[in-house]
Amino acid sequence: MDGNGRWAAQRDLPRTSGHSAAEATVIDVIEAARAAGVRWLSLYAFSTENWSRPGAEVDYLLRLVRRVVRKHAPLLHARGIRCRFLGNTDPRIPAGLARDFADLTLLTSRNQGMTLTVAFDHGGRRDIVEAARSLIRSGAAPDAVDEDAFAAHLPFPDTPDVDLVIRTSGEQRISNFMLWQVAYAEWVFPPVLWPDFRASHFLECLDTYQRRQRRFGGVSAEPNGDEGL
């Protein structure tokens, strides 16, 4: 979800105004994905590298995320969406925000609709390191470690591989996002800044994905009917 700062700069507003304007986009995209039948949606909200931003901006983001979680929890639950948070381990995360994450996770844990994963304080490299540590602690023999065994030690191992990554604002890089899961993802880079991104743009990205042929290193095309965004 990229482009909040540039959106604000184009309007001679502080960067925090761009983050605030992004709230409407988040809800619009969640609703659009659910209506389109997407079963797994992940939103990259805050990376492990984002802690290096100016302290005032980080503090604002933490307060904003807490307000958004509290405000929209009833809607997400009513829509039957299962919510969970990927990352969320840094001790700098305020205790109140961590409680809100845990409360929303528990509230929606039995929902059978779309699974919404919010990557907050997330880093793909850290996930891989933690999975390796978990494997070592389990006492797994080296010859017993294959891709399936390794993936079982990643956070939320039930999450399917990512089929489509949408990165707004035209930036074209991975930025440490779910590195294991995006190995064969399709990528779309719409130029629209995140606060201006709406359901219509999301559906255009889905259409782009559906028109692509996925070969997974082979020669025969696979139909794009998967669900993991």
Q: Give the catalytic positions in this structure.
A: 2, 50
Q: Which residue has the tokens 């070592």?
A: 136
Asked whether 5 and 18 are in contact (CB, 8 A), the reply is yes
Amino acid at 156: F
Within 8 A by CB and 6+ apart from 215, the residues are 221, 222
Within 8 A by CB and 6+ apart from 68, the residues are 23, 26
Distance of CA 78 to CAs 48, 69, 118, Å? Answer: 31, 14, 18
How far is the C-alpha of 39 from the C-alpha of 109, rounded, in Å? 15
Among positive and negative, which fits the CA dihedral 13, 16, 18, 24?
A: negative
Closest residue by Cα to residue 62 from 71, 51, 72, 73: 51
How far is the C-alpha of 209 from the C-alpha of 75, rounded, in Å? 28
